[in-house]
Amino acid sequence: MTREQLIYIDGNWYTKDAAKISVFDHGLLYGDGIFEGIRAYDGYVFKLDEHVDRLFDAARAISLTVPADKQEVKDVVIQACRKNGITDGYIRLVVTRGKGDLGLSPTKCPQASMICIAATIALYPPEFYDIGLKVVTAVQRRNKATIIDPQIKSLNYLNNVLARIEADKQGAPEALMLTEEGLVAECTGDNIFIIKNNVIWTPPTYLGILDGITRSTVIALAKERGYEVTERPFTLYNVYSADEIFLTGTAAEIIAVTLVDDRVIGTGKAGPVTAELLKAFHAYTKGQGAKI
């Protein structure tokens, strides 16, 4: 018998069909809220402390009061996994400004809302981790940090969605986004790394990218294995001439890119450094985090 999915909303658990928010919620009306995408591996919620810390940092940045303390939020995540039988899966944690009115001011929203969804996920087919992804460069440029800082995982993802529409129209599963100055920033849902002569490059956060938790983990794992990792600006020239490229993200983990704007990268398959880091990442996730 299939277990019925249960979703947490503001202290209560609802079935999927019954889980609803108000049409006056500012998260819906204005994209006014924040979220975290979190993974569970082998009975543990991976990097739960880091995800919750980042959620509260984002909340502080947009003057949003999370309607629970950090431990209570962690408890909700663990409960969501238990109630849904998730030992390997994906958790989406959302905090919206809450119910208000049609006015823009958040002062009309007396109480924030918290939502937690735990489910299984497979962002890319398994074979893509061997053959790699096709990626296209989007015309849509990445938001500047002086406008909406991409380090805030806000519910306003239209910038990314517009770039993803470009990828979809070109039959690509991901799009590469550049800054206004033409520097490589990140993809619509993942951070990017390139490898040249065994040196690993990734854009610095000050260019307006998310400081991804998987990104930070991979940087540490690469350094432990003796690789030089440099956070530096680079252009499409460096992307096209790279020996290997891979993306990192909570859902994607580590996945190779083997075709960018119709240019073959490396051998056209996942390279040895990417494969080594993916293996190391999978080993590292075992038993890491909060036990479900």
DSSP SS3 for 196: strand
Residue 120's identity, in one-letter code, is T
Q: Which two tokens stand for residue 21?
A: 């928010």
Active site residue 169: no
E strand or H helix that includes residue 199:
strand 199-202
CA pair distance 27, 240, nearest whole angstrom = 38
Which listed residue (70, 153, 223, 286) is catalytic? 153
| Max Cα distance, the chain (Å) | 56
CB atoms within 10 A of CB 111: 11
How far apart are the C-alpha atoms of 213 and 230, rounded to whole Å? 17
Which residues touch 274 (CB under 8 Å, ≥6 apart)? 195, 244, 246, 254, 256
Active site members = 153
